[in-house]
Each structure stands twice: as C-alpha cells, then as structure tokens.
Structure 1
C-alpha cells in the first residue's frame, strides 16, 4: 500500500504526509483505551463512595445506573473529541506514538469533522473490538476508517523533533520576550483566520528578524502588522514597535502549529 500522500494547498504549495497505518493507530488506541478504562474505574469508585449503601446495579439505584451509563458515553466519546480538537489532532495515545489527525486538505481538524469522526466510532466498533474500523484502515488506500471517510480526515505520522544541544538565537529572543505557546497574547482560535501565504510571510519575518537592520525591521514590522494583525482583531493604533514585534513573533508560534507539520 502507498503510505505517502501529497497535498497541494490553495496557494499551490505541495506538502507530503506519511500516512499512519493500522499498527500505529491500533497502538495509539490501546493507550487511549487504557486511560479511559482507568477513568471508568475511578468513576465507579466515586459513585460507590457517593452511595455505598446500595449496589450500583440494584433495582433501587436506577437513577445512579443511568448516570453511570451516560457518564461512560460522555467519557468514551468526549475523550477523543476534546483532545483531538483542542490538542492539534492528538490524543495522549497519538501523541506518544507520534501521529495526528488532520483534514484531508492538510489543515487542522475542524469542530464539525472532530464531532463526525468520533460519533461514527459507534459504526467502526461493530460488531466488536473495532472490527469494521480495523478492516477499513487495513484495506483503504489512505488508511481511513468509516469516521475518517465521512469527516474527510486522515491520520498522519509526525517526525520526531531532533533535540538541540543549544537554543538558537531566536529561541533565546522569544524567551527574553516571554513568548511561548502557552502565552495569552493571542487566542489560539485566530489561527483559522490565516492562510498559507500569511504563514510564509510571518515565517520569513521570524527567520530574518535578528539579521534585519533596525530601520528595516521597523519598516517591515509596520507593513506586516497592517496586513496580519487586524485578522486577529488587534488594534494597531495603541501598539508600540516592540508590541507589534511581539504580536508578529507570537503569531509565528501559533501558525507553526498549524502549518509546519513535522512529518
């Protein structure tokens, strides 16, 4: 089977992905399911201590039993939905194995796609032990299960990042400015406002930042700020030169998560 997929973005940029097969997806799922199972056990213990005077499955505890069943569904479905949507297409298992879910067009997972692909786990799990899902992933040319086909998603490998013995000059610059992925300078949701062309602009700005003469940096920062920052709802009239630089550098950090896949 072909394990590589090349996608051309609307900006005519080719990006190649390494598709995740049955083995890596199954390994990630087993890790996730182990975490979910532990959560179930903790849930049962919690309900037991809430009302230890009755059996959980006794006739007189139907309300408690219903709550448990609903909780199991919420945990089983919510675990995959919440992590995949809010954690860049990764669950804990996917993160450990080094794979992630993305849109078939190369973009990050959308809310609707995440909902659809995870609701359809019900079908993929039939008749037992994810039999349909495994068969689909094994035989499909892009290793898709039913949920992926309907949602328009694929699962791809991420290349392990090489450890650096020494931080680059720009990494030190970001640290001095207090800029990192968890900073609250811009909301992560603004990423959807930007396209590949915007990413290329901000990447060049980042890579040349320390090499630019001060006057040239001021000029380029001003031009890029006018183009890029209003898309994030930033009011330029109140910003100093340093603040504009911080916004643009932080935008690079956010867009890197979206556009620079480590494959």
Structure 2
C-alpha cells in the first residue's frame, strides 16, 4: 500500500518528511486516552461518594456542597487539561498517541507551542459536535493532511513518528559511552527544553560530529562557542564550568535532542 508523505521546510531551511496520521491511528489513540480519562473520572466519583457518605445528610446531598464543587472543577481540569498538558510537555504525545506512534507538531516541523496546544484542544468542543467527535472525524477523513478543525486553526498536524536511524555506533557515541554519560545526567526543566528546536539540534549535532577531528586549540574554541549559544537557553551557567564539564554537558544535550530530532527521512 502506498503511503502518503508531506514535505516540510523548517524556518532554518531544513527539509523534513512526515507521514500524516490517518483516521484509524488517531481514533485508536483517542480511545486509549478516553479509557484512561474514564478510569480517572470513575475514581473521582467513587471518592466523592465516600466523602458524601461521611456526611450527615446522605440521601439529599447539597448540590452546592464543597466536595461536589471541587469534583466538578477537577473533572473539567483533568478532561481538558490532559490533552493540553501532555501534548505540550510530552513532545506532542498523549499516552494514546505514544502507544500508536503518532504525535502533534507545528506545520513548520517544530514542536507544538503552548498557544497551539491550547487552541487545538480548546476547539475539541467544536470537533466533538454533534456527538462522538463526528465533525472532527469527518474533517480528518476528507482533509488532504487529515486535519480536524483544531489543527486548522492552531496550525498543527498529527504525524507518524519516524523510526530513529539504526546504525553502528558513531565515534562520538563511543566517546560519550567512554565518558559514562547518560541523558539523566542533565536535568532540564520542560519549559526550558522547549526553547531548543531543530536549529539548536543541528548546532549540537555538527559540534559533536566534528569534535573528535578538531585540534586541541579549535576544540576549546568551538566548545565554548557552542556553550555560550546553547547553555544559557536552558538556564545553565558557562563561566563556572571547566572545559571538560562543558564538553560533557554538550554531549548529554546531544543525547537529549537526538531523541527528539534525529530520524530517518
């Protein structure tokens, strides 16, 4: 079966190729997410029941009582905020999307922004009309890029995750392994990590690929140049670090960004 692909050029003029996620994979992801939300909703109602059970007036609970009000607020926050928070903080992936190997990105190939995540998920209200996401299903089925109304307004697209390149370890990967570096060595706040996109990935990848071939004098110069460009963006100071510490930080950053941006096109 032929698979349709779309070509996207990033603001940095990097060409990327994606396969839009169709109705089947998106519906399956939504079902998984809804099942998770139903379980959470049921647990909240069970908790509310036991709270009301502990009150004196069991059979005629006050609809304006604090437990009921809090439960209703929590239900709204969880059912709407689930999609908004996961898509923004988890790289465009809810639990369902991750299980189905799809994700939400910007039309320019960048990670979804806070505003875009807010808009596309706020417009779920329209996409779910008149019932059971019927309008959204029709839009995804007939749109050339399988977009629903939320995607059109927010400038987003749902795509299949591309398989990461499978290859033998490169010299820089062997160097990182020799130094005993792991992704967990660098704790980056998600808000800060959002400041690093494909442009920063290309910078740190170029630096890492050329590192072992540079003479010592050039190695220190390039390392400090990269550090001054990249590390302040994620709230890390450069001045107090030794050259080796800076190198290690950049290499771990390479591991972090590689999982986000290095794919087989």
Bin the TM-score by the shorter chain: 0.7 to 0.9
Is 1:207 the counterpart of 2:196 in the alignment? no
State the shift of 1:178 in Å.
5.9
**2: CA distance, partners of 1:67 / 1:188:** 28
Report the TM-score when normalising by structure 2. 0.84
Which residue pairs with 2:41 in the alignment? 40
Gaps (5+ residues) in structure 2? none
**1: CA distance, partners of 2:58 / 2:84:** 28
Does the C-alpha gap of structure 1 residues 40 and 175 become closer, same or farther in structure 2, counting only changes over 3 Å? Answer: farther
Which residue pairs with 2:247 in the alignment? 245
State the shift of 1:250 in Å.
2.5
SS class of match (2:254): helix
CA-to-aligned-CA distance 1:143-183 (integer Å, 9 cap, x gap) = 1111111111100001344778x876655654565644444
**2: CA distance, partners of 1:152 / 1:171:** 36
Is 1:116 the counterpart of 2:116 in the alignment? no
Is 1:254 the counterpart of 2:243 in the alignment? no
Where do 1:67-216 residues align within 5 Å? 67-161=70-164, 170-171=172-173, 173-174=175-176, 177=179, 179-194=181-196, 196-210=198-212, 212=214, 214=216, 216=218
SS class of match (2:16): strand
Does the C-alpha gap of structure 1 residues 195 and 160 become closer, same or farther in structure 2, counting only changes over 3 Å? Answer: closer
Report the TM-score when normalising by structure 1. 0.85
Does the C-alpha gap of structure 1 residues 127 and 178 become closer, same or farther in structure 2, counting only changes over 3 Å? Answer: farther
State the shift of 1:239 in Å.
1.5
CA-to-aligned-CA distance 1:74-127 (integer Å, 9 cap, x gap) = 111111111111100000100010000001111101111111111111111111
Deviates more, 1:22-31 or 1:227-236: 227-236
> 2:119·2:153 contact (CA, 8 Å) conserved in 1?
yes
SS class of match (1:236): coil
Superposition RMSD in Å: 3.0
**2: CA distance, partners of 1:169 / 1:143:** 40
State the shift of 1:133 in Å.
0.6
**1: CA distance, partners of 2:141 / 2:59:** 39
Which residue pairs with 2:62 in the alignment? 60
Report the number of matched residues. 262
**1: CA distance, partners of 2:189 / 2:28:** 33
**1: CA distance, partners of 2:78 / 2:95:** 14
Does the C-alpha gap of structure 1 residues 185 and 27 become closer, same or farther in structure 2, counting only changes over 3 Å? Answer: closer
Does the C-alpha gap of structure 1 residues 172 and 57 become closer, same or farther in structure 2, counting only changes over 3 Å? Answer: farther
**2: CA distance, partners of 1:232 / 1:17:** 28
**1: CA distance, partners of 2:181 / 2:69:** 46
